[in-house]
Amino acid sequence: MNAHEGLSHKKMSLVNPDLSKERSSVSFPIEEFTYFIFGGPEETKKKRWLISLVDVNKEPVFANKDIYFISRDKYYVRTLEKMKKLIQVKKQYNIDGDDWIFLLLSTGEPMHPILHDVLFIPTLEGQMSREQSEKWLPLAKDYAIFGCYAQTELGHGSNVRRLETIATYIHETDEFDIHSPTLTSTKWWPGGLARTSTHAAVLARLIIDGKDYGVHSFVVQLRGENHKPLPGIDIGDIGPKFGFNNVDNGFLRFTHVRIPRDQMCMKFSKVSRDGKYSTSSNAKVVYGTLVIGRIYMIERASFSLAKALCIAIRYSLVRKQGNDTNDNPNETMVLDYQFLQYRLFNGLSIVYTFIFVGKWMRDLYDVNEKKIREGDVNIMADIHSISSGLKALCTDLTMGVLNDIILACGGHGYSRFSGIPSILDNYAQNPIVEGDNTILHLQTGRYLIKVFENAKNGRPTPSTLSYLKGYSRILSERSRAITWEELTDPNEQIKALTHYHTRLLAKLISNLEETSKTHLQGYEGAKSDYMIDIINVSKAYCYTIIITSANEGLESIKSTYSNIYPILRVLINLFFSNFIIKYSGEFLLDNYFNSNQIKIFEFGIKNCLERIRPDAIGLVDAWEFSDNMLNSALGRYDGNVYEALYNWAKLEPLNLAQERGEYVGYNEVLKDIYDREYLKGINKSKL
């Protein structure tokens, strides 16, 4: 049984006939597509079971329908009620790892345990010694304590090295004194901090005998009996946000809070009883929590975007507008308009391309973790750079499409009942958190400069960029493809993107070398004059990774998923072609592509839209989002959009008050305005 079955409102007789017709015309078995998304038949079976655990027909606590009407404090408590039930389910069925994260996502809204499990626990696992882990991890994994990740401060976020919170070692008592010396050192933004967390992984500057040893991680207890903040801890909520308002993002300020020495995370850096500091070559893994957080965001970008596209595509198959005449009274299904297809199918191409890059990034991370356990940190810088750039590009692209999706749904898309504003609001943090995207692109771009310089001078380069050793050959290449099939051949796609990013990088290096001759601060100072170029180099490199991983990933599953391979090929071709057209000026500039080839891409994009159109509903249904998860009047599986909008509007508290004979605003103000009594006695005067 799949996730669409067994729900009373989804009987075939009640499904909108246009949606039924569309579903019957899909060219591939939707079940196979679901297998691809979820990772195979067995994984699909397990994920359907996980989804059933939060079915609102069995567990009403997970219902989302009324969250558009409740206050922020009630919304927070409602989320805690769901969290409590989820932890019960987790313990009952021993659910862990990716299955646990999937279960949390299946509730359809942000959940506190994600922050605890994705940020707090990995910090403990990655940075604590074995003895420390044996003490703290069982408590965290059993939810006997609940943690947050306190890095960002009021005055500093992405620039971790400039954090101001200090942890001073006190020889006499064998403790650290945690202190916020300035207003700007106040921890600001950690999710789950304001009211939920009992503990925090706090990033602070280690000070021993007046010497600053840089930023390290410390576990600090925040609350004691009856959840009361401990002495010296000023903690609270930062207030309403753009989204995520069921999660208690908070502020935290320390006034000389003492913690035992063994609450510094000491897997790689240590402070002995006599105050001696030691560190290993692996100390840079202190930033590993940032890397895993960014990888999580890369993986989940397709999930969030697929939810919004599911709503928009279903609605666009029900909604009809225009083209009616006296001879033909029937209006056109809006998804049959080419520009709407371009908006939405571009999003679909991103969703499915991102699935491949997410898996590629996770595999690379797993390789790195294995190497770290063996004492090898050689690819740490590489994975940090790649995850930074990909997080920035993936979240930027996702945000752009989410904005397009609201516009694609017309006026109803602006309604909270569409479900899309909530997806957008909750996603909007992603280009900022875990590193501002501009800063991340600059980090990746500067790393690429360094690697290219090494390649030019015959020094070692990371395996992911080893091709730069042949940069002269890459720069001399031009596309000889003539047909659409040749232009979109997987190898041709990879060659085109590799050429593009290598050319931008070589041009940047040349400009830096020339500018540095007269720049007062030399080569490093010249980089400030080329920030835009550095960011563009990072973007180009990340597009190259996306296209490479998508094409290689697709070819690797060609035999396993033969029925859906053709439409996946079309989607990747569309993603690639949109990129080429967007940056066609760059490709024409050095004649890698000529004008005739660009025209072929333009026509090819339109052909891709035509090919995707009959399969659009299958490409979103395959995700098996429940109605509760989407929480959308427009994206209902049964397509009864207008009935749902009307019925949900009737639930508005202002309308319910009117049904009780209470007319909010009338007795308070409107009565006086209509009676005009408030205007009597006013002396008219000329300006």
Give 83-135 pLDDT, tens digit per residue.
Answer: 999 999 999 999 998 999 999 999 998 888 888 998 899 899 989 999 999 99
Average per-residue pLDDT for the chain: 93
What is the C-alpha to C-alpha distance for residues 554 and 562, in angstroms, rounded to an integer? 10
Beta-carbon contacts of 188 under 8 Å, excluding residues fewer than 6 positions away, are 152, 153, 154, 238, 251, 252
Residue 12: predicted pLDDT? 36
For residues 242-248, give the mean pLDDT: 91
Matching residue, tokens 């655990």: 53
Q: What Å distances lie between residue 274 and 129, 169, 170, 256, CA to CA?
A: 19, 10, 10, 21
List the catalytic residue out of 22, 175, 299, 434. 434
**Residue 613 in tokens:** 């159109």
Reply yes or no on whether the pLDDT at 60 is more than 90. yes
Identify which of 475, 444, 470, 472 has the alpha carbon closest to the alpha carbon of residue 542: 444
Contacts of residues 20-25 at CB distance under 8 Å and 24 or more positions apart, as own/partner, are 22/317, 22/614, 22/616, 22/617, 23/617, 23/618, 23/621, 25/614
Reply yes or no on whether the pLDDT at 289 is more than 80. no
Residue 268: predicted pLDDT? 87
Matching residue, tokens 């609201």: 406
Q: What Å distances lie between residue 116 and 199, 244, 245, 563, 607, CA to CA?
A: 10, 15, 17, 40, 46
For residues 172-184, give the mean pLDDT: 97
Q: pLDDT category, 374, cuts 50, 70, 90?
A: confident
Residue 8: predicted pLDDT? 37
Residue 354: predicted pLDDT? 97
For residue 218, the cross-strand partners are 202, 264
For residues 401-416, give the mean pLDDT: 95
pLDDT single digits (tens) 329-354: 789 999 999 999 999 999 999 999 99
Residue 615: predicted pLDDT? 98
For residues 195-220, give the mean pLDDT: 97
Residue 282: predicted pLDDT? 62
pLDDT single digits (tens) 509-552: 999 999 999 998 888 889 999 999 999 999 999 999 999 999 99
Residue 326: predicted pLDDT? 65
153 is a catalytic site residue:
no
Residue 3: predicted pLDDT? 53
Report whether 579 contacts 551 (CB < 8 A). no
Matching residue, tokens 């669409």: 4
Q: pLDDT category, 9, cuts 50, 70, 90?
A: very low
Contacts of residues 374-379 at CB distance under 8 Å and 24 or more positions apart, as own/partner, are 375/282, 377/281, 377/282, 377/284, 377/285, 379/462, 379/463
Number of H helices, E strands in the chain: 27, 11
For residues 266-292, give the mean pLDDT: 81
**Residue 559 in tokens:** 């035999």
Beta-carbon contacts of 107 under 8 Å, excluding residues fewer than 6 positions away, are 54, 62, 64, 82, 86, 629
> What architecture is domain 32-109?
Orthogonal Bundle (1.10)
Q: pLDDT category, 284, cuts 50, 70, 90?
A: low
Q: pLDDT category, 13, cuts 50, 70, 90?
A: very low
Matching residue, tokens 């989940």: 300
CATH 2.40.110.10 applies to domain 146-283 = yes
What is the C-alpha to C-alpha distance for residues 203 and 123, in angstroms, rounded to an integer? 11
Q: Where are the domains of the chain?
A: 32-109, 146-283, 288-323+330-621, 645-681
152 is in an annotated binding site: yes
- Transcribe 111-132 into DSSP letters: -HHHHIIIIIHHHHHHHS-HHH
**Residue 491 in tokens:** 């190898």
What is the C-alpha to C-alpha distance for residues 354 and 360, in angstroms, rounded to an integer? 10
Residue 369: predicted pLDDT? 81
Identify which of 309, 313, 307, 305 has the alpha carbon closest to the alpha carbon of residue 19: 313
Residue 206, CB half-sphere, CA atoms under 13 Å: how many?
20
Cα torsion at 351, 352, 358, 360 (round to 10°)? -160
What is the C-alpha to C-alpha distance for residues 406 and 312, in angstroms, rounded to an integer? 8
Residue 577: predicted pLDDT? 98
Residue 498, CB half-sphere, CA atoms under 13 Å: how many?
24
What is the C-alpha to C-alpha distance for residues 526 and 212, in angstroms, rounded to an integer? 30
Residue 329: predicted pLDDT? 75
Q: pLDDT category, 679, cuts 50, 70, 90?
A: confident
Residue 7: predicted pLDDT? 41
What is the C-alpha to C-alpha distance for residues 670 and 154, in angstroms, rounded to an integer? 43
Tell me whether residue 131 is exposed, middle or buried, using C-beta atoms within 10 angstroms of its C-beta: 0 to 12, 13 to 18, 19 or more.
Answer: exposed
By mean pLDDT, which of 465-469, 618-622, 678-682 is the weakest?
A: 678-682
What is the C-alpha to C-alpha distance for residues 431 and 427, in angstroms, rounded to an integer? 8
Report whether 16 contacts 639 (CB < 8 A). yes
How remote is the C-alpha of 490 from its chain's centroid? 27
186 is in an annotated binding site: no
Beta-carbon contacts of 682 under 8 Å, excluding residues fewer than 6 positions away, are none
pLDDT single digits (tens) 568-605: 999 999 999 999 999 999 999 999 999 999 999 999 99
Fold adopted by 288-323+330-621: Butyryl-CoA Dehydrogenase, subunit A; domain 3 (1.20.140)
What is the C-alpha to C-alpha distance for residues 119 and 563, in angstroms, rounded to an integer? 38
Reply yes or no on whether the pLDDT at 436 is more than 60. yes
Residue 435: predicted pLDDT? 85
What is the C-alpha to C-alpha distance for residues 228 and 115, in angstroms, rounded to an integer? 21
What is the C-alpha to C-alpha distance for residues 433 and 299, in angstroms, rounded to an integer? 15
Determine the residue type at 554: L
